[in-house]
Amino acid sequence: MSSADKNLSVQRYPFRAMGSECEVVLAVKNQAQAYALAQKAIAEVLRIEKKYSRYTSDSMVAKINQHAGLGPVACDDETWALLHYAEQLHEQTQGLFDITSGVLRHAWDFKSAVVPAAEKLDALRNKMGWYKVVLQNQSIALPDVGMEIDLGGFGKEYAADRAAQVLQAQGVSSGYVNLAGDMRFLGAKPSGEPWMIGIQDPRRQDQVVATLPMIQGGLATSGDYERFFEIDDKRYCHVLNPLTGWPVQYWRSVSVAAPAAVVAGCTSTIAMLKEKEGLAFLQATGFDFLAIDSSNQVHMR
Amino acid sequence: MFARVLTLTAILALQGCSMIQPVEAWQKGTLALPEMTFDDDPLERGYKEHTYTSKEASSGGSAVGGGGCGCN
Amino acid sequence: MAVIKHNSKLPELGAALLGAAMTLPCIMLSAQAETAPEKGTLSFKYLNYKERQQVTSNAGSSGAWTDSQSSASAYDDRVHVKATATSVLLPLNGEWSLSGTLVTDSISGASPAYHTQSLSKLQDFRRAVDTSLTRYLPNGKLALGLSHSGENDYISRAVSLLATQASDDKNTTWTAGVAIQRDVINPVNQIVASEKKRGSDWLLGVTQVVSMNDIVQLNLGHYSGRGYFSDPYKIYDERPTDREHQTFQARWNHHVAALNGTSRLAYRFYTDTWGIRSHTIDAEWVQRLGSEWRVAPQLRLYSQNAARFYVEVDPRIAPFPTSPPPNALHFSEDQRLSAFGAVTMGLKVTRQLSVDTAVDFKVEQYGQKAAWKFNGLGSQGLAPFYARSIQVGITHSF
């Protein structure tokens, strides 16, 4: 066995995907193997990005949205499973989690920093509503022209889980996949110690408000600081309540640790959407969380 | 005899304790911290056991065997 | 795709959210098996230990010691130990590991010939080797250990076997261990020659994860030995040729996330066939500072009563040695078998230099006084003694 085989140092592979800085971190015996494994994981992230991006014209999501009002679109197994997942979340949250709420981005433009007029919001809300969507025969139909689905609510987290699965299947048992703060862990550092993950202060980008020790499962954070604008000290962030059309205000950030990144991500998003009821919701899930409210108070389990 | 009864009682109490919530794999980050384990510095433990058995009458507790020394 | 087994008391909501995700393909919800260490470790630690005992300022080193507070501003040196310990852990092909530790002690200074009197110089050198071969199984491990310790008048050899078995969710781990020892003593003063001592001990333990911030361990141990237990360098020392002891130990580590610190508490009860019972309480607080530093103040409280055959200091005869009771079969004037209490205060600082390397520094002060016995009824006529200990260590994963 060469000395390279015995070397179990931690390798980091940064890359850019889904509009953000991402990273694959792993420790394996063979350093040359580490590069190849990371590339496989990165390829899986890019595959999912390409397939479910709202922005590329040939993605599955684009195809479904282009057919809005024009009849059903056949789905492959993966897409079908993701749509069913979205449906279950819609049911479990009584409509609060709704992947047809993406159209609201036409009203809330974070670059122009303008609060939209009520009529514009109402018009868009007519184009929303998962309850209108028809799922049957492994196909999806959006009944009205102008309706859209957007998997941004859990797409990144799903990609983190899938990329981690690629690594685990190849025998990686130390490392993690980090897609702009949505993370899935494969096992402790080679020394057996946990990865110490800093949770960013929602108001100070370079400051960490707490450090969470992680070895398995997923960690995801939703916050009001990723895309927002402020008018008169009031912050309008990108997390929009589909029932009102307005951004949520109660939480500055919610981080959740759960068995998988998708579960962590959806839980943190739902907590943000539930605003004041979010804390009771987080408590009721049994998952571990760190939530910071608008008065900067930290709630943890 | 007394020690045996004490241990058995404690173990039974632990098993019946309803405060124990099974901890899932994704929650074990904290438990992997070295200070949360029971033997994170074996060399320190070795020195500790050896120095205390050389100036006090008691020995043992959490390990078996190990070399003795002339500090009868 | 194997799915994680949930003896989960995850509340309904959490279980529902998790259940929904289980329909998604290939997101790896299966539990991973515990594996052997993949990295080797090399550690080194140096110890400098210095004991001294209190004496009356005007009576000199073999003068009588009194309880009076006004006396005793001078100290006599006792045992001084400088030790180095090196240990290596080598993973072998995924299911095995081999570890070895080498400890070298250099002992000098002085030790009392009876009670805390008549300090006689000593000089010794001890080398001890411990090796262990471990086989990792799906839910546990088996370890075989060999030890050999030698100094110019004492050789000790031991073999041990340790087995651990964890529950499927890894929250409960059972431990069982047995060991046998064979010692030979050949004192330099030739009071006796080639005396032997044989012993065996077993240990049963359970470690239970109580919550994500709490872990508890209970241990029960038993030792039984026959042979030469006396100390040939002490006068009036004739101990039984057998000894049995039992220990019960409880430990609890508790992490406080809000403070970024962990409390570590332990209690041990000891009882043996020589009539000695002791209590040991250990308390430590490990405070994390940033990502690189750990600072841990420690406190240990100890109390023991005297062995049945311990001979108390007769103040009428002091400083001359007290004669054992006539017709006594067993007797000893060894301070270690008297009734006393002891307090240790320590501070350990650890710094992580890199992902693979850490250094640590520990300073400790120990004091042993008859008056500190928990119920205050300690042995009389014995000088309190103190020890300060400094440890410096480094550990590196490769």
User: DSSP secondary structure string, C187-228?
Assistant: -TT-SS-SEEEEEEEEEEEEEEEEETTEEEEEEEEEEEEEE-
Q: In chain C, which stretches have pLDDT less than 50?
A: 1-8, 30-34, 57-72
Instruction: Identify whether the C-beta of residue B3 lies closer than 8 Å to the C-beta of residue C269.
Output: yes
Partner B, chain C 122-161, Cβ-Cβ below 8 Å: 124, 126, 128-130, 145, 147-149, 151, 153-154, 156-160
Does residue C150 share a domain with residue C25? Answer: no
In whole angstroms, what is the distance from residue B59 CA to residue B49 CA? Answer: 8
Query: Which chain B residue has its CA at the smallest distance from A214's CA?
Result: B29
Which of B26, B27, B33 is nearest residue A193 as measured by Cβ atoms?
Answer: B33
Task: Say if residue A261's pLDDT is above 50.
Answer: yes
Return the CATH fold of A1-54+152-187.
T-fold (3.10.520)
Does residue C278 share a domain with residue C193? Answer: yes
Question: What's A183-224 look like in SS3?
Answer: EEEEECCCCCCCEEEEEEECCEEEEEEEEEEECCEEEEEEEC
Residue C37, both tokens: 């260490």
Neighbours of chain A (3+ CB pairs under 8 A): B, C
In whole angstroms, what is the distance from residue C92 CA to residue C72 CA? Answer: 57
Q: How many CB pairs under 8 A join A and C?
A: 105
0.95 surpassed by pTM: no
Query: Which chain B residue has its CA at the smallest distance from C260's CA?
Result: B30
Residue type, A132: K
Query: Which chain A residue has its CA at the smallest distance from B22's CA?
Result: A286
Which of C210, C216, C368 is nearest residue B55 as measured by Cβ atoms?
Answer: C368
Q: How confident is the model at residue A98 (pLDDT cuts 50, 70, 90)?
A: very high
* Rounded average pLDDT over A97-126: 87
Directed axis angle between helix C12-21 and helix A261-274, to 10°?
A: 130
C-beta atoms of C23 and A81 within 8 A: yes
Q: Give CA torsion, residues C31, C32, C33, C39, to 10 deg.
A: -160
In whole angstroms, what is the distance from residue C246 CA to residue C221 CA? Answer: 6
Report pLDDT digits (tens) over C242-266. 999 999 999 999 998 788 899 999 9
In whole angstroms, what is the distance from residue A142 CA to residue A72 CA? Answer: 7
Does residue C61 share a domain with residue C17? Answer: no
C240 or A171: which leads in pLDDT: C240
Residue type, C137: L
Does residue C158 share a domain with residue C27? Answer: no
C93 or A251: which leads in pLDDT: A251
C-beta atoms of C249 and B62 within 8 A: yes
Quick one: pLDDT at residue C4?
Answer: 37
Does residue C280 share a domain with residue C191? Answer: yes
Contact residues for A268 (Cβ-Cβ < 8 A; gap 6+) = A220, A221, A222, A254, A255, A256, A289
First vs last C-alpha separation in chain A: 45
In chain A, domain spans: 1-54+152-187, 60-149, 194-301
**Coil, strand or helix: which one is C62?**
coil
Does residue C167 share a domain with residue C134? Answer: yes
Does residue C168 share a domain with residue C26? Answer: no
CB atoms within 10 A of CB C138: 9
CB atoms within 10 A of CB C96: 14
Interface pTM (ipTM) of the complex? Answer: 0.86
Neighbours of chain C (3+ CB pairs under 8 A): A, B
Quick one: pLDDT at residue A5?
Answer: 33
Q: How confident is the model at residue A100 (pLDDT cuts 50, 70, 90)?
A: very high
E-strand ranges in chain C read 41-55, 74-92, 96-114, 117-121, 124-137, 140-151, 154-166, 172-185, 195-211, 214-227, 242-256, 261-272, 277-289, 293-304, 340-352, 357-369, 385-397
In whole angstroms, what is the distance from residue C5 CA to residue C2 CA? Answer: 9
C-beta atoms of C201 and B62 within 8 A: no
C-beta atoms of B43 and C85 within 8 A: yes
Q: In angstroms, what separates the C-alpha of C389 from chain A's closest C-alpha?
A: 28
In whole angstroms, what is the distance from residue C281 CA to residue C268 CA? Answer: 7
Question: What's C103-145 look like in SS3?
Answer: EEEEEEEEEEEEECEEEEECCEEEEEEEEEEEEEECCEEEEEE
Which residues does chain A have within 8 Å of residue B25's beta carbon, measured at their own beta carbons?
Answer: 215-217, 259
Q: Answer whether C258 touches A (CB < 8 Å).
A: yes
Contact residues for C363 (Cβ-Cβ < 8 A; gap 6+) = C346, C347, C388, C389, C390, C391
| DSSP state string for C277-298 | EEEEEEEEEEEEETTTEEEEEE
CB atoms within 10 A of CB A249: 18
In whole angstroms, what is the distance from residue C203 CA to residue B4 CA? Answer: 12
* Rounded average pLDDT over A242-264: 92
Instruction: Identify whether the C-beta of residue C278 lies closer than 8 Å to the C-beta of residue B58.
Output: yes
How many residues are listed for chain B in this entry?
72
C-beta atoms of B29 and A259 within 8 A: no
Assign domain A60-149 one CATH number from 2.40.37.10, 1.10.3980.10, 3.80.10.10, 1.20.58.220: 1.10.3980.10
CATH number at residue C101: 2.40.160.40
Does residue C352 share a domain with residue C207? Answer: yes
Look up the CATH superfamily of A194-301: ApbE-like domains (3.10.520.10)
Does residue C291 share a domain with residue C222? Answer: yes
In whole angstroms, what is the distance from residue A297 CA to residue A288 CA? Answer: 17
Q: In angstroms, what separates the C-alpha of C28 from chain A's closest C-alpha?
A: 5
Which residues does chain A have within 8 Å of residue B32's beta carbon, measured at their own beta carbons?
Answer: 188, 192-194, 213, 215
Does residue C155 share a domain with residue C19? Answer: no
Average pLDDT, chain A: 89
Quick one: pLDDT at residue C51?
Answer: 94
C-beta atoms of B36 and C255 within 8 A: yes
C32 or A187: which leads in pLDDT: A187
User: Given the DSSP bridges, would you call strands A139-141 and A73-74 parallel, antiparallel or unpaired?
Assistant: antiparallel
Residue A162, both tokens: 């899938």
Query: Which helix (H) or strand (E) segment is A26 a member of?
Result: strand A20-26
pLDDT (tens, 9 = 90+) of chain B, 72 residues, equals: 666 666 666 666 665 555 566 777 667 777 878 898 898 899 999 999 999 999 999 998 888 766 566 666
DSSP bridge partners of C105:
C83, C126
Quick one: pLDDT at residue A33?
Answer: 87
Query: Which chain C residue has its CA at the smallest distance from B28's CA?
Result: C212
Contact residues for C151 (Cβ-Cβ < 8 A; gap 6+) = B69, B70, C105, C124, C125, C126, C127
Instruction: Identify whether the C-beta of residue C123 lies closer than 8 Å to the C-beta of residue C110.
Output: no
Burial of C250 (0-12, 13-18, 19+ CB in 10 A): middle
Contact residues for A194 (Cβ-Cβ < 8 A; gap 6+) = A188, A213, A214, A215, B29, B30, B32, B33
Does residue C150 share a domain with residue C272? Answer: yes
**Coil, strand or helix: which one is A285?**
helix
First vs last C-alpha separation in chain C: 34
Quick one: pLDDT at residue C68?
Answer: 47
Quick one: pLDDT at residue C80?
Answer: 94
B17 or A62: which leads in pLDDT: A62
Residue A139, both tokens: 């196909």
Q: State the total domains in chain C.
A: 2
Instruction: Identify whether the C-beta of residue C371 lies closer than 8 Å to the C-beta of residue C341.
Output: yes
Q: How confident is the model at residue A152 (pLDDT cuts 50, 70, 90)?
A: confident
Q: How many CB pairs under 8 A join B and C?
A: 232
Tell me, yes or no, if the two domains A1-54+152-187 and A194-301 fold the same way.
Answer: yes
Report pLDDT digits (tens) over A119-140. 888 888 889 999 999 998 899 9
Quick one: pLDDT at residue A266?
Answer: 94
Domain containing C326 equals 39-397
